[in-house]
Amino acid sequence: MTQQRSTSLTLNRRGLLGALGGGALVAAGAGMTARNADAAPEDAAKWASELTGGRNPVDDPRVAIDLPPIAENGNTVPVTVTVDSPMTDADHVTKIHVVAEGNPNPGLCTFELTPACGKAEASTRIRMARTQNVVAIAELSDGSVISGKKEVKVTVGGCGG
Amino acid sequence: MAASRPRVKVPKSAAKGEVFQIKTLVTHKMETGLRKDKDGQPIPRDIVNTFTCDFNGKTVFTMKLEPAVSANPYIAFFQRATESGEYTFTWTDDTGESVSETKSIQVG
């Protein structure tokens, strides 16, 4: 009896989760359309390709962006970019570009690293106009370009205007 | 407005091969160029656009800043201890003015 009851409970929960997931997908789709109308992700991609000399970055889990999930004040959002790299003379990160997809200007900053850094990690504080993705693009000494992405929700934008 | 009051945190000593963090902060308004004054005139852009860190005369870390970096820019990064020496930190802004700070470290 108990066994049966628990099975039906699980089924119900699964059905409910499925419905919720579907709703979330629709909401995400609507958000995407609104963002595309702004053409900001395209600007960001263009900016990034200029910085890297036309080399297309490949998504790679070695690039990690540490950002608060919700930034209450868009005027100063702490950001840390870490790239998993041994930082030796033969294999190191030369540049890390940080790009915003929803700011008036897509560029945030560029860190230029050397093997003397010992660890491919740098932090700063940035201004975010609204909820958007932050993209980090790392150029490696072997010529490859890898990237990572993270969304930050902004309560009050911080770009003046 | 020139950058002023640089504050830098470097450990006084480190073991050879140790990787340590350097934290820096400088006072600068980082005017984006997007804001308007009360008469509706745009306020010209004035930001710190370059930060460099040299160790014993060799550049070891550079940062190019855009208007999106917050006022009073905070920059933190890592270094591997190889030898005793002196770090020189330089911030340069749009007006061409720069401010520097030096810190020494004992390695061994």
Query: How far, in Å, CA of A94 to CA of B100, rounded?
Result: 24
Amino acid at A59: D
Taking all residues of chain A, what is their mean pLDDT, rounded to a whole number? 78
Domain boundaries, chain B: 4-101
Percentage with pLDDT > 90 across chain B: 78
Please provide the distance, in angstroms rounded to a whole number, between the alpha carbons at the two ends of chain A: 65
What CATH number has the domain spanning B4-101? 2.60.40.10
Report residue B68 CA to chain centroid gap: 15
**Domains within chain A, CATH numbers bracketed:** 39-156 (2.60.40.2470)
For residue B13, what are its two tokens? Answer: 């000593």
Q: Mean pLDDT, to the nearest integer, of A95-123?
A: 92
Higher pLDDT, A92 or B2: A92
Amino acid at B28: H
| Beta-bridge mates of residue A122 | A81, B77
Q: What is the pLDDT at residue A26?
A: 43
List chain A residues with CB under 8 Å of B76: 80, 122-124
Nearest residue of chain A to residue B62 (CA atoms): A112
| Beta-bridge mates of residue B48 | B93
Give the residue from B99, B85, B72, B89 showing the smallest Cα distance to B22.
B89
| Beta-bridge mates of residue B59 | B54
Strand residues in chain A grouped as ranges (E): 58-59, 63-66, 70-73, 77-83, 93-100, 107-113, 120-126, 132-140, 145-156
Quick: pLDDT tens for A134-144: 999 999 999 89
List chain A residues with CB under 8 Å of B70: 75-77, 124-127, 158
> Looking at the complex, does the CB of residue A126 fall below 8 Å from at least one CB of chain B?
yes
Indicate the pLDDT class of residue A39, thresholds 50, 70 and 90: very low
Determine the distance in angstroms separating the CA of B24 from the nearest CA of chain A, rounded to an integer: 9
Pick from B77, B82, B91 the residue to mutate for testing the A interface (most A CBs within 10 Å).
Answer: B77
Is the pLDDT at A118 greater than 80, yes or no?
yes
Q: What b/e readout covers B33-44, taking b as 16+ CB neighbours within 10 angstroms?
A: ebeeeeeeeeee
Q: What is the largest CA-CA distance in chain B?
A: 60
**ipTM score of complex:** 0.91
